[in-house]
Amino acid sequence: MKKDGLEELFERLHDDFELHEPSEGHQARFLHKLKQSERVVQLKQNKTIWWRPLAIAASIALVCVLGVQIYKSQNSIQEQIVEIAPEVSKTEFYFASLIEAQVEQLKNEKSPETAQLVDDTLKQLKKLEKNYEQLERELVQGGNGDLLLNAMIINFQTRIDLLQEVLNHVESIKTLKNKNDENFTI
């Protein structure tokens, strides 16, 4: 059926087919145009070869610059606290230096008899420090400023009191050990 349709189509269009030969130089013109189009394609390919890596590098640079800008625009918690309450930084520096000095003293007093006590104290100090950091975040997020500042000071005082009490306890342990050593005879 389809063959019959194709044969009929060819018979109908038989007179419309071009039977003429192309003009003189047609092949040379065609080849010349083909070579020119190949050069254009090669130029476009060469152009895209260096363009792609450059575009990728520019994109990466743009992302890095935006990231740095965003990072710099966000103030640290400490900077935000100083903006909210400037006196906090001075107070924090004072208390932190006291605590640090007492922690060093406590670590120097560590002995086999006091090791457990010192380790437990350091764990408690870390918990109090995390609590302080939470108070800082709440202050930055807009919590009750006076109440939070008071809680922050109490946190520092608690740490100092804890360290002082433990140092006193360590001294009494050392004193007791020395007395026991003096009473011990061979």
The model's pLDDT over 6-36, given as tens digits with 9 standing for 90+, comes to 788 777 777 666 666 777 777 888 878 877 7
Q: Is the pLDDT at 152 greater than 90, yes or no?
A: no
The residue type found at 149 is: L
Of the three residues 74, 97, 129, the one that is the final residue of a domain is: 74
Distance CA 154, CA 135 (A): 11
Provide the pLDDT for residue 25. 79
Range of the domain at 120: 77-179
List Cα–Cα distances, 47 to 3, 55, 59, 63, 169, in angstroms: 50, 12, 18, 25, 79
Number of domains, the chain: 2
In a domain, 6, yes or no: no
pLDDT at 43 over 70: no
Distance between CA atoms of 41 and 49, rounded to whole angstroms?
12
Are residues 69 and 146 both part of a single domain? no
Quick check: is 10 in a domain? no
Same domain, 81 and 164: yes
Do 122 and 37 fall into the same domain?
Answer: no
- Among 59-63, 118-122, 147-151, whose mean pLDDT is lowest? 147-151
Q: How confident is the model at residue 164 (pLDDT cuts 50, 70, 90)?
A: very high
Residue labelled with tokens 């939470």: 134
DSSP code of residue 151: H
Least confident of 31-40, 41-50, 170-179: 41-50
In this structure, are 64 and 156 located in the same domain?
no
The reply to whether 9 falls in a domain is no
Rounded average pLDDT over 147-168: 89
Report DSSP state, residue 109.
T
Tell me the per-residue pLDDT of 77-124, one tens digit each, with 9 for 90 and over. Answer: 666 666 666 677 777 778 888 889 888 988 888 888 888 888 999 999
Domain end, chosen from 74, 97, 128, is at: 74
Most confident of 8-17, 62-71, 148-157: 148-157
- Which has more confidence, 105 or 69? 105
User: Do 129 and 49 reside in the same domain of the chain?
Assistant: no
Q: Same structural domain for residues 96 and 37?
A: no
Residue 62 in domain: yes
Q: Is residue 82 located within the same domain as residue 67?
A: no
Domain C-terminal end among 39, 74, 109 = 74
List, as one string, the DSSP characters of 6-72.
HHHHHHHHGGGS--PPPPTTHHHHHHHHHHHHHHHHHHHHHHHHHHHHHHHHHHHHHHHHHHHHHHH
Examine residue 19 and state whether it is found in any structural domain, yes or no. no
For residue 22, is it within any domain? no
Residue 137 CB coordination number (10 Å): 13
Q: Evaluate if pTM is beyond 0.85.
A: no
